[in-house]
Structures are given as C-alpha cells and as structure tokens.
Structure 1
Amino acid sequence: LQTVDQKRVAVYHTNVILCIGEAFAVVCLSCIDNAQERKSVVAQLNSDGKEIIDITEEQMHQFAGNMLQVKGLGDKRFIVMSQSALESLTSNQKNLMEKHGALLAAGLPTIETCGGGSARCMMAEVFLPKS
C-alpha cells in the first residue's frame, strides 16, 4: 500500500516497490503494511542471500524501486534507473548499490509522467545460456 491524499491505497504494480538483483534487493518495506508479511518478505530475501536496500515511499514515488540490474560485456553489471530515481537515493543507498553494479541513469520524465512507469518498465531480461 502507499499513501495518496493521506489515504492508504494499493500500489498498482510490484515493480514500483521491489527490484531484485543478483545479490541485492531494493524494496519499499513501508509499503507492506502487514507486519507479518513484511517480516516474511525480509526473511525470504535474507534466505536468498540478498542485501536489502530499503527505500522510502517518497523515493518509490520517484521510481527508485523501478530499476533493473543488467549484465554487459565482460560480465560488467549495471543497475539501470531513471534520473529521478537516482536523484532520490541517499549517498548510503548509492554506495550499497554500487557494490552490485555501476549506476546507469537516464532522464525519463515523459515515461514517468504520462506512462506511470520508469526504466524497468521499458526493459526485459533475457536468461538464455551462452552459446
């Protein structure tokens, strides 16, 4: 849930509050109102060996949960996000993420304003074996 006009309403899509990378997860834990569900999510992410990077609802509204980790040439890892998402992050959050890949941001104001999505919504993963 998220706060809109001082009321708690459903978040329209999970990828707004959660980004799962190879060894990390960016998540807006404050959007999980049910304490038991929140505890379960944290336990599962910990069990999966993910470093949890918690974001605020304000950061979520700047699309900080709508990121995607990708792998480039030489297995170099990048974390792709919008400029507004990057600017919403604290120095500590950026430092934690940079352990998992270079931060790569682009200005996406039209997509974020008119489309309601961000960088993650514009990309897809390919999990094919190398040939």
Structure 2
Amino acid sequence: MENSEKRLTIKDLAEDDRPREKMERKGASSLSDAELIAILLRVGNANETAVDVAQRLLGQVNNSLNELARLNLHQLTRIKGIGRTKAITILAALELGRRRNAEGPINRERIFSSRSVIELFQPVLADLPHEEFWVLLLNK
C-alpha cells in the first residue's frame, strides 16, 4: 500500500502563517520565537516543517532562549532536523544578540523643545505611506 499523504511544508500553510511573509507584513515582533528560529533554519526535515523543528528545539530547552544560548554545536546537532549548518546559523544569531546586548544602550537625544521632537521623529515618520499615532513619554 502506497503512502499517498503529502508532507506538509511551509508553502502549504496559509500565507499569514508563513514566517517570512508574516515578518514582511507585520514586522519581526509579531513572530513567535519558534517562527524566528524557523527563518534561520530555512527548511525542516522529511517529516516536519522548519516551524515544527524550531518548536521541538524550543521544547527541549523549556522554551527558554537563555537555555538555548547555552547549547553548543554538538548539543544542537544531536537534535533531529538540525545539522551542522543549521546549528552554526543558530549559534551565530545568538552570538549577534549577545554582542548587541554587550554594546549597551544607544545614546539618546535630549529633548528640550517641540523642535527637538520634530528633529527626532521626522526621519522615521515623514515618508510613511500611512498615518500613525505615536505617543512620546517624557520624564520631568
């Protein structure tokens, strides 16, 4: 008896459920940790999508990115669906996050007047093709 079931791929998902398309439309903050990792993995394995592999990976580290960051290359490659290249990609992304954290905060502009606000926000908001409502919170 031949297995007529087709393996589910990312392309089989609704467009709103595909990590890359979702990120493009809604931004990186709209994705779950598993979806972000799935983008790094690019593809799954014979039986799972990249999202499935990423969810299983996170499940093995109690859904903790901090615990994931403690894994080494050998530990990652022991997980089904994660070979050397995928493990190196994950480790590189985690290292970028570490380095970003180590840099510390960006120097922030001091706001003294409404002119300061315009100078700060105009480059961000001036050319948007849609209207946005922003709130600026200031201390003293």
Q: TM-score, normalised by structure 2?
A: 0.33
Bigger proportion of residues as strand: 1
Q: Which has the higher contact order (CA 8 A, sep 6+)?
A: 1
Bigger proportion of residues as helix: 2
User: If you compute each CA radius of gyration, which structure gives the higher value, 1 or 2?
Assistant: 2
